Amino acid sequence: MVDIGVLVSGGGTNLQSIIDSIETKKCSARIKVVISNKTDVFALKRAEKHGIATEVIKKEDFLTRESFDTELAARLKKYGVGLVVLAGFMRIITRPMLEAFPMRIINIHPALLPSFPGLDVQKKAIEHGVKFSGCTVHFVDEGVDSGPIIIQAVVPVKDNDTVETLSKRILDEEHRIYPEAIHIIGEGRLQVLGRRVVLKDGPEPTGALENPPVSIFADKTLP
């Protein structure tokens, strides 16, 4: 069981999926605190509804990113947090946080990293014409969406997708894999070998995907 702090900046649907997975005992973790860099975001209301402690740290109160992160780390430590979970937290993490929580900060990103780091990635995936996208849970390092990858889920990109339809398909997978990632970290089942993160005694992945699924014609012989 791991004690987590969840960092948010917005609606908090990923936070909700983590809360729900803990309450239904699919994910063994305890949320010690939810911290937002913005007041009045719905994620805070979600936390309060479930009796979880909340805090707001505003960037206006700090001169530098580093001083913000020093305060953030201190608050998380105050709550006994052992794993920091970024769930739509719209800030770059700097050295004071990375030093306070080495390889103990994770993020979820709505693309298959290392493709499409940064912002507006569902739009970029559609415009690039990729046939698959998805989401990635990764450890946070000093780069942007660049840390070692823990788990990914893949979804097809459909010819008629809009940013909204693709985002929804990806978000559904985010809600599934983020609590899974927290659970396996809490169980101590991950081994980090440089950039490679290995699930100890994990099942073998199987299957291959194709888009467009031309192979559905494979058993038909040509005229």
The binder of ligand GRF chosen from 5, 88, 96, 186 (CB under 6 A): 88
Q: From CA 58, how far away is CA 184, in angstroms rounded? A: 32
Told to check if 145 binds ligand GRF by CB under 6 A, we report no
Q: Is 115 exposed, middle or buried (0-12, 13-18, 19+ CB in 10 A)?
A: middle
Told to check if 106 binds ligand GRF by CB under 6 A, we report no
Q: Which is nearer to ligand GRF, 39 or 206 (CB)?
A: 39
Q: In angstroms, give the least distance from the CB of 56 to ligand GRF.
A: 15
Which candidate, 68, 12, 18, places its Cα nearest to that of 44? 12
* 9, 87, 134, 210, 212 from 166: Cα distances, Å: 22, 19, 9, 17, 16
H or E, element range at 129: none
The binder of ligand GRF chosen from 82, 110, 147, 186 (CB under 6 A): 110
Told to check if 156 binds ligand GRF by CB under 6 A, we report no
* Structural tokens at position 188: 């101590």
Told to check if 179 binds ligand GRF by CB under 6 A, we report no
50 classed as catalytic = no
The binder of ligand GRF chosen from 2, 6, 7, 14 (CB under 6 A): 14
Q: Which residues are catalytic?
A: 109
